[in-house]
């Protein structure tokens, strides 16, 4: 794990092959902010209470809550969450007029959890856990939807790789790409994000450029996975759940 923060105290945590699991669970994999406020339910599914701290950053995961700068405030920013209890976090926006109005903007919501009572045993180590999920600011008045945007993606070869262009104002989250190359197949499973009016390069080896087709798995606003077919050099395809 990387550096984590709790108030002004900087903690260093090590991840040792799943030696322990974080008790805090976020009930969403992403948050869509469309004005007013957005919410996120956090549950402590452990058997011990946990301290919780939440903040939003603009893309630098090394920044703690004191250094991070964004137009969003999380309420409450810090609290004690009892075992088997849940808490709804409210995300409030301010000075949003300085953000682009013709496309979505991407931020990151951080939730840090730490057991409130550290063990004094020298044979144990106290671990802080941070979960970081995407927060999309979606300004009012955008035409279309992310689902429609997926059908208009343009897939092309670029060198020996693959590129996909997004001509919409929405971010599109990809999970997996499966490309059929003649009688063979190539798979990319690293996942990625195509920005509005932007492009994503996918390191798949494309040897033949004729009649290549494939499928892409993408993730919607609710964290649900969908599949979409495509043909290289063409736009659109058939959607499948």
d(CA 45, CA 24): 6
Q: Which residue among 108, 137, 166 closes a domain?
A: 137
Q: What is the pLDDT of residues 90-101, one digit of tens each?
A: 999 999 999 999
Structure tokens at 146: 């992310």
pLDDT higher than threshold 90 for residue 13: no
* Domain contains 38: yes
Same domain, 173 and 125: no
Determine the Cα–Cα distance for residues 109 and 123; give it in Å rounded to an integer: 33
Number of domains the chain is built from: 2
The answer on 187 and 74 residing in a single domain is no
Q: Where among 105, 137, 169 does a domain terminate?
A: 137
Does residue 229 belong to any structural domain of this protein? Answer: yes
| Alpha-carbon gap, residue 226 to 206, rounded angstroms | 24
Question: What pLDDT digit, counting tens, does each position of 110-157 carry?
Answer: 999 987 665 545 555 567 889 999 999 999 999 999 999 999 999 998
The H or E element spanning position 180 is: strand 172-181
Per-residue pLDDT band at 236 (split at 50, 70, 90): low
């Amino acid at each position: 794990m990387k550096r984590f923060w709790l108030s002004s105290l900087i903690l260093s945590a090590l991840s040792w092959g799943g030696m322990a699991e974080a008790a805090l669970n976020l009930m969403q994999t992403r948050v869509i902010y469309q004005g007013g406020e957005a919410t996120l339910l956090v549950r402590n599914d452990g058997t011990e209470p946990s301290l919780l701290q939440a903040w939003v950053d603009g893309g630098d995961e090394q920044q703690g809550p004191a250094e991070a700068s964004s137009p969003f405030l999380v309420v409450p920013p810090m609290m004690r969450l009892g075992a088997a209890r849940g808490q709804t976090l409210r995300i409030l926006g301010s000075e949003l007029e300085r953000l682009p109005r013709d496309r979505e903007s991407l931020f990151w919501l951080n939730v840090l959890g730490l057991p409130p009572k550290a063990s004094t045993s020298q044979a144990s180590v106290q671990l802080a856990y941070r979960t970081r999920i995407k927060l999309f600011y979606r300004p009012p008045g955008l035409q279309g939807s992310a689902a429609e945007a997926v059908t208009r993606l343009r897939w092309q070869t670029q060198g020996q790789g693959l590129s996909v262009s997004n001509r919409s104002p929405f971010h599109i989250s990809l999970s997996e790409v499966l490309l059929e190359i003649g009688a063979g197949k190539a798979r990319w499973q690293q996942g990625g994000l195509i920005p509005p009016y932007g492009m994503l390069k996918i390191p798949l080896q494309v040897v033949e450029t004729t009649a290549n087709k494939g499928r892409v798995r993408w993730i919607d606003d609710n964290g649900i996975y969908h599949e979409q077919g495509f043909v290289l050099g063409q736009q659109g395809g058939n959607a499948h759940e």
